[in-house]
Amino acid sequence: MEKNLEKLWQSVLGEMELQISRANFVTWLKNSRLTEEKDGTLFIVLPNNFAKEWVENKYHKNLLGIVRNFDDSVRKLEFVVSGQKLEILEKKAPVGTAVVFENKINFEFRVDPESNLNPRYNLNSFVVGPSNELAFGAASAVIQNVGVKYNPFFVYGGVGLGKTHLIQSIGNEIRAKYKGKVRPKYVPSEKFTSDVVWAIRNKRMDDIKRKYRDVDVLIIDDIQFIGGKEKTEEEFFHTFNALYENNKQIIISSDRPPQSIPTLEERLRSRFEGGLIADIVYPEYETRVAIIKSKLQENKKELGNEIIELIASKVRKNVREIEGVINKIIFYQDVRGSQINEKIVEDIIEKTTQNFSKRVSDSQIIKSVAEFYRVSTDDLVGKVRKKEIVEPRQVAMYLLRDILDMSYPYIGEKLGKDHTTAIHAIKKINIEINKNSSLFQKIITIKELIYKS
């Protein structure tokens, strides 16, 4: 049972990660755990009172909705603070506290405290296809020539496409290959930021320097989040230089290329561009099939080819979503003992993918498009005929239709055009999106901006 709970929670978190902003996810949910299920109530452990209150107030409904998608026998969520004694556990195991119990559940993949790497990620389990082979090749080269050749290594791509998996794998492979003589350290950029803020407040900048400069490989995930935070960028710049000058390897991930991180300082941007830059794009059909098969194998499960093909053709947004669907299917089979058929799978896919569309307003959409393309909203909705406004405007129209299903005349009016222009623009993007993966990528990134706002 414990194994199932752990899986359930991982799947739920995977979906939450798609629904809320990355920063919020990391701050509030990343360290949460599921400890126990009793009479339809799930007990969720959070690291402190503050997090408990926050999650309870902000995400309770969201979480319950997702959990029930997996397992509708759950009726209630209870939030508890780590270390607090749980009555329910005491009854079961007199010596047990939540902490003891947690350890039992999470033995499988414990993050290594020194490197902060999660051993679950390795290159073996990374399925390679045309969408990621460049990044994969670069990663393998970095492992062979740590700090020498491809420095820094910068990988970018949309959410759930395998950036974290790839860069953590580099760290794990390096640890194994060089038997601990080359020391990697993995850090999400939000963590770096919060460390810097803490150090400034407590006048402990030396600690930061020691922590981040005394490594051989520094892996920074989601660098776009440090953009615009002056002190953090400053400190990162110095860390970067110190490591770089000593031939230490730097690995960076981001949801977009360096030149598209609007708030990133020029000097950092040019440092990044001095190394090797590789992108990861959307896996095409064959790769999706391969990923599904590999995930099934990891879980020692099998599914018929029709079902695998059905999933591959319908779940296209990202790998995390594919995993979400598979986890749910496995859940169905394991927990409910149900036979899986195409109808059930279609239901599961629908539920998984619809979670993504929350209510947003038209002005949110327009604002996010403007923000992404770095143009002003006035230009975007106005009558100006500038070349650099063409794509943003078409994308804005497309998204108004796609997300809000607005009428063409209304969309036209919103963006200072008539309805035929709107029809034309939306049609054009609809066609382009299937041919041009970088446009598809941009649109997904903008959608994320929209849902975050």
Helices of type H across 161-279: 163-177, 189-201, 205-213, 230-245, 266-273
Using CB under 6 A, which of 323, 391, 402, 448 touches ligand ADP?
Answer: 323
Does position 126 interact with ligand ADP (CB under 6 A)? The reply is yes
> Phi/psi at 96 (nearest 5 deg)?
-75, 135
Does position 163 interact with ligand ADP (CB under 6 A)? The reply is yes
Does position 160 interact with ligand ADP (CB under 6 A)? The reply is yes
Answer with the entry of Mg ion, ligand ADP, none that 132 interacts with (C-beta below 5 to 8 A by kind): ligand ADP
Site string (294-313) toward ligand ADP, x via CB under 6 A = x-------------------
Residue 14: CB minimum distance to Mg ion, A = 11
Which H or E run contains 58? helix 49-70
| Cβ distance to Mg ion smaller for residue 96 or 152 | 152
CA dist., res. 109 & res. 125, Å (int):
15
Cis peptide before 152 (omega within 30 of 0): yes
Answer with the entry of Mg ion, ligand ADP, none that 421 interacts with (C-beta below 5 to 8 A by kind): none
Using CB under 6 A, which of 142, 159, 312, 366 touches ligand ADP?
Answer: 159
Does position 162 interact with ligand ADP (CB under 6 A)? The reply is yes
| Cβ distance to Mg ion smaller for residue 146 or 280 | 280
Instruction: Give the Cβ contact number of residue 423 at 10 Å.
Output: 16
Q: Are strands 41-46 and 33-38 parallel, antiparallel or unpaired?
A: antiparallel
| Cβ distance to Mg ion smaller for residue 13 or 344 | 13
Does position 164 interact with Mg ion (CB under 5 A)? The reply is yes
Answer with the entry of ligand ADP, Mg ion, none that 4 interacts with (C-beta below 5 to 8 A by kind): none
Give the nearest residue (CB) to ligand ADP.
162
Own/partner contacts of 434-442, CB < 8 Å, gap of 24 or more, are: 437/131, 437/281, 437/282, 438/281, 440/281, 440/282, 441/157, 441/158, 441/281, 441/282, 442/372, 442/395
| φ/ψ bin of 385: left (φ > 0), alpha (ψ from -120 to 50), beta (otherwise) | beta
Residue 257: CB minimum distance to ligand ADP, A = 14
Residue of 99, 85, 79 whose CA lies nearest to 29: 79
- Residues of the shown chain interacting with ligand ADP in the complex, contacts defined by CB under 6 A: 125-127, 132, 157, 159-165, 291, 294, 319-320, 323
- Per CB under 5 A, residues contacting Mg ion are 163-164
